[in-house]
């Protein structure tokens, strides 16, 4: 029996779309995720014997030299401690290119670097006295033969444990570089564990006797790609593979939705947003529903932005309540004239499509006249 730390999609070197100096701070934290993973693997309480990296260790096939040196140094700590390391290139750090990091650094890359362009048995390792057979591949443009989902996988060995490692899309054909994998064919191969990368949200699936698992991205890249916030550790060699998730100490990206419809005063909305904020998180608050008062995003941002690591307010409301529009239309101002004219156009709209365009124009025009915007960043 032995335990494996399954990593994938760390995307070291990624620079998130955040204002300076926060961008640098988050980038440094993300690049430190590998060191945290190595520290976890070296913790004797975890009893880790192998670290599998299932693709996209880097965000680009040409990461900056200092990051490459740091990565080799960290993986070397594992090798020095007798922990086996297996690295599979992904589609971001693709091995295809002549200047790819894995081609330049192949001779000094710690552990086993997979370069086979098609599924193949790449090694048999001795792990705690047991045979561990590895099946893997590294997609290589112009060499890998990918015409629809891959189905030709070498069968599991009769003795020991067989692990497969792929950076690809299980039962989904997103194109050749997404490395589509046929689930039925993988099930027929009979592997003990299938370590997958490429799908950032993580997840598991039984394929016959096999346990397939996407480790997911530990530290997020954006609000749309928030990461899992956990490590994936697998126990093998004593019955079916057992997968556990261990919390990781990373800054979370969190999205919350606040419905403004129930609020009649700006102070009520501000209190609700304040209540939803996590001080240690990067926060996006999406406002939905119908507005019953004038919405001043910049003021909210100024008063609330310091309550968390980062705050982004996004206005996804449907527009102003009818009574608010009535009040605005009665104003002897340019804004009042704008509302009256757009409401007249809305009443005379030729169909649903034109009416929707007029509603959007009214909504966005009022935001502009109020000095607000669809989203406001601090």
pLDDT at 303 over 80: yes
Q: Return the higher-pLDDT residue of 70 and 328.
A: 70
pLDDT: which is higher, 216 or 355: 216
pLDDT value at 363 more than 80? no
Among 145-149, 235-239, 246-250, whose mean pLDDT is lowest? 235-239
Predicted local confidence at residue 373, as pLDDT: 37
CA angle at 3 for the pair 232 and 229, rounded to the nearest 5°: 15
Calpha distance 71→14 (Å, rounded)? 14
* Paired tokens of 159: 């003795």
Region of residue 228 (left: phi > 0; alpha: psi -120 to 50; beta: else):
alpha
Query: In whole angstroms, what is the distance from residue 209 CA to residue 343 CA?
Result: 63
**Which residue bears the tokens 């990067």?**
282
Q: Is the pLDDT of residue 86 over 90?
A: yes
pLDDT band at 3 (very low <50, low <70, confident <90, very high): very high
Answer whether 7's CB lies under 8 Å from 53's CB. yes
CA–CA separation, 374 and 365 (whole Å): 11
The encoded tokens of residue 348 equal 């005379």
Which whole-number Å values give the CA distances from 279 to 269, 276, 373, in the listed order?
18, 10, 25
| Residue 97 DSSP SS3 | coil
Mean pLDDT of 344-363: 87
| Mean pLDDT within 230-258 | 95
Structure confidence at residue 362 as a pLDDT band (50, 70, 90)? confident
- Cβ neighbours, 10 Å, residue 124: 13
Return the bridge partners of 97, or none.
none
pLDDT given for residue 44 in this prediction: 97
pLDDT band at 370 (very low <50, low <70, confident <90, very high): low
More confident residue, 135 or 364: 135
Task: Provide the pLDDT for residue 291.
Answer: 84
Q: Measured between alpha carbons, how far is 52 from 87 in angstroms, rounded to an integer?
A: 6
**Residue 361: per-residue pLDDT:** 86
38-52, 113-127, 243-257, 333-347: which range is least confident on average?
333-347
Q: For residue range 248-284, list pLDDT tens digits in order.
A: 999 999 999 999 988 988 999 999 999 999 999 999 9
Looking at residue 374, what is its pLDDT?
Answer: 38
pLDDT at 89 over 50: yes
The more confidently predicted of residues 323 and 55 is: 55
Are the C-beta atoms of residues 258 and 291 closer than 8 Å to each other?
no
DSSP 156: P
For the domain made up of 2-247, give the CATH fold: Purple Acid Phosphatase; chain A, domain 2 (3.60.21)
- Which pLDDT score, from 0 to 100, does residue 371 have? 41
Chain-centroid distance, C-alpha 136: 23
User: Could you give the C-alpha distances from 93 to 13, 28, 300, in angstroms and in order?
Assistant: 11, 19, 41
Q: Which of 170, 113, 178, 189 is nearest to 144 (CA)?
A: 178
- Among 182, 128, 137, 140, which Cα is nearest to 164's? 137
* Residue whose structure tokens are 């397939």: 212
Quick count: other Cβ atoms within 10 Å of Cβ 120?
Answer: 14
Taking CA atoms, 196 is separated from 66, 155, 202, 370, in Å, by: 27, 18, 9, 49
CA 337 to each of CA 170, 332, 340: distance values in angstroms, whole numbers, following the listed order: 56, 7, 5
Quote the mean pLDDT of the chain.
Answer: 93
The DSSP bridge partners found for residue 136 are: 120, 165
Kindly list the domain boundaries of the chain, sorted by start residue. 2-247, 253-377
Contact present, 61 and 94 (Cβ < 8 Å): yes
What pTM did the predictor assign?
0.87
Asked whether residue 91 carries a pLDDT value surpassing 90, the answer given is: yes
Beta strand spans in the chain (E): 2-7, 48-54, 84-88, 112-113, 120-127, 130-136, 161-167, 169-170, 180-181, 193-197, 203-207, 210-214, 230-236, 242-247, 253-259, 282-288, 290-291, 310-315, 319-320, 375-377
How does pLDDT run across 167-201, given as a tens digit for each residue? Answer: 999 999 989 999 999 999 999 999 999 999 999 99
Distance (Å, rounded) from C-alpha 316 to C-alpha 319?
A: 9
Section 200-207 average pLDDT? 96
Residue 339 predicted with pLDDT over 70 = yes
Is the torsion defined by CA of 156, 157, 159, 164 positive or negative? negative
CA distance 110 to 74: 9
* Confidence at 30, pLDDT banded by 50, 70, 90: very high
């Amino acid at each position: 029996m032995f335990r494996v730390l399954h990593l994938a999609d760390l995307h070291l070197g990624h620079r998130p779309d955040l204002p300076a100096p926060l961008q640098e701070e988050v980038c440094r934290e993300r690049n430190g995720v590998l060191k945290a993973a190595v520290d976890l693997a070296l913790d004797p309480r975890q009893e880790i014997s192998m670290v599998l990296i299932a693709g996209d260790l880097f965000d680009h096939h040409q990461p900056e030299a200092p990051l490459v040196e740091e990565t080799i140094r960290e993986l070397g700590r594992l090798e020095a401690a007798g922990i086996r390391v297996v690295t599979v290139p992904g589609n971001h750090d693709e091995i295809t290119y002549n200047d790819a990091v894995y081609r330049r650094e192949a001779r000094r890359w710690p552990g086993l670097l997979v370069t086979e362009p098609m599924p193949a048995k790449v090694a048999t390792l001795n792990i705690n006295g047991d045979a561990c057979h590895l099946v893997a591949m590294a997609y290589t443009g112009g060499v890998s033969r990918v015409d629809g989902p891959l189905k030709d996988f070498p069968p599991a060995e009769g003795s020991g444990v067989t692990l497969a490692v792929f950076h690809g899309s299980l039962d989904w054909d997103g194109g050749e570089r997404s490395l589509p994998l046929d689930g039925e064919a993988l099930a027929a191969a009979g592997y003990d564990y299938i370590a997958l990368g490429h799908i950032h949200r993580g997840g598991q699936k039984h394929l016959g006797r096999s346990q397939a698992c996407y480790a997911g991205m530990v530290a997020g890249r954006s609000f749309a790609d928030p990461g899992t916030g956990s490590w994936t550790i697998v126990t093998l060699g004593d019955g079916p593979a057992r997968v556990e998730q261990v919390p990781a100490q990373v800054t979370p990206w969190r999205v919350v939705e606040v419905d403004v419809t129930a609020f009649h005063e700006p102070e009520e909305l501000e209190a609700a947003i304040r209540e939803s904020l996590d001080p240690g998180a990067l926060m996006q608050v999406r406002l939905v529903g119908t507005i019953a008062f004038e919405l001043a995003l910049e003021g909210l941002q100024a008063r609330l932005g310091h309550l968390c690591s980062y705050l982004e307010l996004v206005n996804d409301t449907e527009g102003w309540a009818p009574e608010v529009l009535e009040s605005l239309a009665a104003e002897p101002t340019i804004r009042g004239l704008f509302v009256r004219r757009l409401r007249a156009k809305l009443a005379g709209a030729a169909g649903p499509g034109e009416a929707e365009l007029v509603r959007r124009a009214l909504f966005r025009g009022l935001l502009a006249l109020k000095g607000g915007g669809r989203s406001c960043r601090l």
